[in-house]
């Protein structure tokens, strides 16, 4: 039974696309080997249907990916997605920088305090976004591990 695209997760979409690619390759081989025109036509139509389904699956994956918000790495293209290691490294660096600027808030010089306050505002926002992304990536990894565990237990 074919599942509705809107009820499928990104991983399910990708799994079906991979399975369809194998089917497409098998159909192409069969089409080359068959000499009967009617059988060849039927296989070609089946190949076309699978190709159309794959296009819909890919389109749905694009929609799902566009809904995922990820913090962007500094000085990198906007489409760059950070890995868990990069997020943790930047988070650690931000903690050190935040501690330095929090010390500057205690300065007697108004300009130093003001600049520290402004810098901290952006650092806090960045740190918050990184923490949200870290939680999302860890949750996603946990979900994948649960699925893998369930799959191995069913065998």
Q: What is the pLDDT of residues 86-141, one digit of tens each?
A: 888 889 999 999 999 999 999 898 888 888 888 898 889 888 888 888 888 888 88
Distant-in-sequence, close-in-space partners of 116: CB < 8 Å, separation ≥ 6: 101, 102, 104, 105, 107
Q: CA distances (Å), 115 to each of 36, 48, 108, 120, in order? A: 79, 62, 13, 8
Is 104 in contact with 117 (CB distance < 8 Å)?
no
* Residue 46: burial class (beta carbons within 10 Å; 0-12, 13-18, 19+): middle
Q: How does pLDDT run across 23-41, given as a tens digit for each residue?
A: 999 999 999 999 999 999 9
User: Tokens 């890995």 sit at which residue?
Assistant: 83
Q: How does pLDDT run across 113-122, given as a tens digit for each residue?
A: 888 888 898 8
**How much is the pLDDT for 79?**
33
Distant-in-sequence, close-in-space partners of 58: CB < 8 Å, separation ≥ 6: 17
């Amino acid at each position: 039974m074919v599942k509705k695209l809107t009820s499928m997760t990104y991983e399910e979409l990708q799994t079906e696309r991979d399975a369809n690619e194998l089917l497409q390759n098998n159909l192409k081989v069969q089409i080359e080997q068959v000499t009967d025109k009617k059988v060849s036509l039927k296989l070609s139509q089946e190949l076309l249907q699978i190709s159309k389904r794959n296009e819909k699956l890919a389109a749905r994956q694009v929609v799902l990916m566009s809904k995922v918000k990820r913090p962007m790495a500094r000085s990198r293209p906007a489409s760059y997605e950070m890995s868990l290691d990069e997020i943790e490294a930047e988070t650690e660096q931000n903690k050190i920088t935040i501690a330095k600027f929090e010390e500057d808030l205690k300065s007697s010089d108004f300009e130093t305090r003001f600049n520290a306050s402004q810098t901290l505002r952006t650092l806090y926002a960045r740190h918050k976004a990184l923490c949200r992304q870290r939680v999302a990536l860890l949750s996603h990894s946990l979900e994948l591990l649960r699925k893998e565990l369930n799959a191995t237990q069913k065998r």
